[in-house]
Chains A and B, each alone.
Chain A
């Protein structure tokens, strides 16, 4: 009996492995390997040197690039899971058609995010104390819970989508799992806004704004990455039945950017009127301070204006939509970086002699990421490229019709 199950298990695994010659996965797998090698070197250096030496974060700005890159990845993942939930649970056919890719992509992007937080936290092994003596009041405790549960749900979804001989019951289970992934994903991402919003000292993060903004920009980014990945996989010429899915994702992305613009407008304006508070300083650091290049070129031009212009003029052109997705995903890096850093640039004490605090003439604290921080970020991309394009190459990610 045992031997039988073992054989069965083996043949099940074997049946999964394919070799997709048509998909241009190899260059991305190689890119992933290179980034993993360089990033792996950085990871070792960080352990040898110690976080304190290796990273550019300071007493004034304790959270830097790796918190941004963590947010970058995990929020894209929950955004993808959101879109998957629309397809699986709410019967949105255009997204159900790509549900296999959605689940695989969401899982791998989440794992890429986990590499970042594991490298950011100084003592990841001590995270057992989050179980032994948990602080239920701490948003970081819930962050661990929600993202952990999200990974479990995605793993279950992976099992379901690759299971041979799917039954009606499996489809029902998949719908439930899809809905849970959407729900827990939204909770996880909005709670990430609360991780920042709960910081008494940092006015920039207070309120509902970031919880909302992160969820909206995450779904937008999820749509962007899905369009981009499909364009790569099909080398620009998508099968006719997938085109409507892409066009719909393009609309979702456009709508998402529209809501982001709306949120930006009121957050910026209302913060300007908090002068002379810290939220005012934060907004000034973006508009006219140390983060202004990031803000105007990265956040505004790359993550809002250019992709929106491309989407509006796309008229069904998948090429334009994927270009919009690509530019958006670059711009989004600046969006995340600015979000994390702007809130910490107003120092908690004035930079006077003896205070220990160093500020520039405008009174802002300093932060610029170290080389090793950049390389650890690259490691996250390496993990993503390697795992995802290996999945494309060796697994069948085409979603068979349910009916």
Chain B
């Protein structure tokens, strides 16, 4: 059996900017208050068109779990590593807080977790894996913007969405090969 390859396919057009995902993430992962402390975000993109024909789109995002992983290559202690499913994780005990990974990440996905005294970021709620549960942001979204799954399994809903739609990735010019795919 081929190894699993976790990823998320997002249909941002469905996003209501309700921020339920960001709240669910904070609860699931005990994220403390603080301006810089967040794992996921929902950006209100610039308005398109001219009045009265205006449209507004939102862009929910988080760590892209890059296949080419700039944050891991610069980490001197291998605190940043990849799980067998390609989820980019941090071994908090090994993190020296040099912040090289923060400066290397093209998506500004990392922050300093003061309580863990280490760098932190989205883990696809890896702690839920043993139970087979989806990440909190995926589970909580009222319009199912995010679909999480094994991109190596052609039968997974995520793979099917990826096959059926034209998709794009953020900052492809950085050659990071993100595991987040946005439906066009």
Contact = CB atoms under 8 A, between A and B. Distances in A.
Contact of B108 (A122, A140, A348, A352): A348
Contact of B43 (A200, A202, A349): A349
B75 A200 contact: no
Name which of A127, A137, A201 has the most chain B CB atoms within 10 A of its CB.
A201
Contact of B107 (A62, A123, A140, A349): A349
Contact of B96 (A52, A59, A127): A127
B44 A122 contact: no
B131 interface: no
Interface in B104-132: 104-108, 110-112, 114, 117-118
Contacts of B78: 129, 133-135
Interface string A341-384: 00010011110111111000000000000000000000000000
A195 B75 CA distance: 11
A126 B94 contact: yes
A124 interface: yes
Interface stretch (B3-11, B23-31, B34-42, B140-148): B34-42
B104 A200 contact: yes
Interface residues of A, number: 44
Contacts of A50: 114
Interface in A115-155: 121-124, 126-127, 129-130, 132-135, 137-141, 144
A1 B94 CA distance: 47
A352 B56 CA distance: 13
A336 to B, nearest CB: 16
B70 interface: yes
A355 B174 CA distance: 20
A60 interface: yes
A242 interface: no
A63 B103 contact: yes
B95 interface: yes
Interface residues of B, number: 45
B17 to A, nearest CB: 7
Nearest to A120: B98
Interface of chain B, helix or strand or loop or mixed?
Answer: loop
A52 B100 contact: no
Contacts of B98: 121-122, 140
Given A129-B78, A352-B44, A354-B43, A198 B73 contact: yes
A286 B44 CA distance: 29
A122 B105 CA distance: 19
A60 B108 contact: yes
Interface in B35-57: 35-36, 38, 41-46
Nearest to A343: B103
Name which of A51, A62, A123 has the most chain B CB atoms within 10 A of its CB.
A62
B82 interface: no
Nearest to B72: A135
Nearest to B46: A352
A124 B97 CA distance: 8
Contact of B94 (A60, A129, A348): A129
A91 B49 CA distance: 72
A139 B108 contact: no
Contacts of B95: 122-123, 126
B167 interface: no
Contacts of A354: 17, 19, 41-44, 58
A355 B43 contact: yes
A133 B70 contact: no
Contacts of A348: 105-108
Given A200-B105, A349-B108, A352-B45, 15 more contacts: A51-B97, A57-B99, A124-B96, A126-B77, A126-B93, A127-B77, A129-B94, A137-B74, A140-B76, A195-B100, A200-B104, A200-B174, A201-B106, A344-B103, A354-B43
Interface of B: 17, 19, 35-36, 38, 41-46, 58, 70, 72-79, 93-100, 102-108, 110-112, 114, 117-118, 174-176
21 contacts: A60-B108, A62-B99, A122-B95, A122-B97, A122-B112, A123-B96, A124-B96, A126-B94, A129-B77, A130-B77, A130-B96, A135-B76, A135-B78, A198-B74, A199-B103, A201-B70, A201-B103, A202-B103, A344-B103, A348-B106, A354-B42
